[in-house]
């Protein structure tokens, strides 16, 4: 029944979305939670801002760290009492422009994927909309064996698939394919892990570009330059059966496309573009995760809450808590949702260059829920 409902889901046209007025106000009416939820469990702290968490089958915790508060390690194993160990080693976490393919420039996502390996997505660029340029050799998907602490493979995304302003943001897996969002040059990169070939789809698609400014805690976000912070296609999830890719720009809406159109590199771009459809309006979102039932969990940055979106498009609130300040890329283990509270809205990168108001250490939380991970990534 779930699949029938999902396939019968009414699809809203792109035109309706485009006709919505662009929000101009600096402050949105919002009510922040004041009551802490006793179900929320703090599991780790960090003196560096993190933007993603992933957990191995044997319980080891890893995180990707932003560079929004200055340079530092980018991919770490999270230990006790805030200890962060650069992973796979310190050398990989030190940028070297002479050897870009073997050093991280800007890790923006990390997750366990096929065969239980740790995968790191190096954006290949230090910013979106800042004028920063993609570094050839820097944009790469790196596969790491956590038992040996060795990089076992790497896929470097090069021009013309890598564009001048590309910022390879996040990744999901589906069989032989990896799907990578690129909000820097709005579109989706499809990487064939077997052949190493990559191609682009949904370039400048109406559902991939950044129609609206971003808000967190009710306040509009600004780049250090003073420009509104806008981010296109960012979050993505693959349905448990592998049939659908769900995606959205940070401010929404949530859209989907059948993966068979993405995987076929021979299809004309216009043919693929017609297959993407809006499903439901969403909100300024920091990160998402998907469970074995196909429910998507999406943080709502304006209300410090996590929402659940069913495959049929129904929305409900999972938790709202004052401690959930900018929950970014989440992770699901059996029985729990993991949430890094990144506080990115308190960094100069989003406040027009104002001094940081991040409250250190930043926290990571988990919430017990009757859920299990989807098996697309072979958790």
In a domain, 2, yes or no: no
In a domain, 89, yes or no: yes
- The CA distance from 179 to 237, in Å, is 9
- Report whether 217 contacts 32 (CB < 8 A): yes
In a domain, 350, yes or no: yes
Q: Across residues 129-135, what is the average pLDDT?
A: 89
In a domain, 262, yes or no: yes
Task: Output the pLDDT for position 376.
Answer: 53
Over residues 69-121, the pLDDT tens digits come to: 778 899 999 998 889 999 999 999 999 999 999 999 999 999 999 889 999 99
In a domain, 33, yes or no: no
Q: With residue 2 as reference, give the H or E element that holds it.
A: helix 2-7
DSSP summary character for residue 34:
-
Which three-class secondary structure state does DSSP give residue 153?
strand
In a domain, 329, yes or no: yes
Q: What is the CATH number of the domain that holds 349?
A: 2.120.10.30
In a domain, 103, yes or no: yes
Over residues 6-40, the pLDDT tens digits come to: 433 444 434 434 434 444 588 888 889 999 999 99
Domain that holds residue 130: 40-368
Burial 329-367 (b: 16+ CB within 10 A, else e): bbbbbeebbbbbbbbbbbbbbbbbeeebebeeebbbbbb
Contacts of 71 (CB under 8 A, 6+ apart): none
Instruction: Please give the model's pTM, rounded to 2 decimal places.
Output: 0.92
Over residues 269-293, the pLDDT tens digits come to: 999 999 999 999 999 999 999 999 9
Number of domains in the chain: 1
In a domain, 355, yes or no: yes
């Amino acid at each position: 029944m779930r699949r029938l409902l999902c396939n019968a889901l009414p699809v809203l046209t792109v035109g309706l979305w485009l006709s919505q007025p662009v929000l101009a106000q600096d402050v949105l009416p919002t009510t922040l939670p004041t009551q802490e939820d006793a179900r929320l469990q703090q599991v780790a702290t960090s003196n560096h801002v993190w933007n993603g968490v992933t957990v191995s089958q044997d319980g080891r915790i890893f995180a990707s760290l932003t560079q929004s508060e200055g340079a530092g390690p980018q991919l770490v194993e999270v230990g006790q009492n805030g200890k962060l160990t650069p992973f796979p080693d310190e050398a990989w976490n030190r940028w070297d422009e002479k050897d870009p393919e073997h050093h991280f420039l800007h890790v923006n996502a990390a997750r366990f994927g096929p065969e239980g390996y740790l995968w790191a997505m190096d954006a290949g660029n230090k910013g979106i909309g800042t004028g920063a340029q993609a570094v050839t050799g820097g944009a790469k998907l790196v596969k790491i064996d956590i038992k040996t602490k060795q990089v076992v493979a790497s896929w470097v995304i090069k021009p013309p698939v890598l564009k001048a302003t590309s910022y390879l943001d996040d990744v999901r897996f589906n069989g032989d394919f990896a799907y990578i969002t690129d909000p820097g040059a709005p579109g989706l990169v499809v990487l064939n892990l077997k052949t190493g070939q990559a191609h682009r789809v949904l370039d400048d698609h109406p559902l991939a570009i950044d129609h609206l400014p971003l808000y967190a805690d009710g306040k509009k976000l600004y780049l250090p330059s003073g420009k509104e912070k806008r981010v296109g296609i960012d979050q993505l999830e693959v349905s448990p059966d592998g049939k659908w890719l769900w995606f959205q720009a940070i401010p929404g809406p949530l859209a989907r496309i059948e993966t068979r159109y993405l995987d076929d590199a021979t299809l004309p771009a216009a043919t693929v573009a017609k297959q993407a459809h809006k499903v439901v309006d969403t909100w300024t979102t920091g990160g998402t995760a998907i469970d074995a039932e196909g429910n998507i969990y999406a943080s709502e940055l304006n209300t410090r809450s996590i929402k659940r979106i069913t495959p049929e498009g129904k929305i409900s609130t999972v938790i709202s808590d004052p401690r959930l300040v900018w929950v970014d890329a989440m992770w699901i283990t059996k029985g729990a949702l993991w949430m890094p509270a990144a506080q990115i809205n308190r960094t100069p990168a989003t406040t027009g260059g104002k001094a940081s108001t991040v409250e250190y250490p930043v926290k990571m939380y988990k919430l017990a829920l009757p859920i299990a991970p989807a098996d697309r990534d072979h958790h």
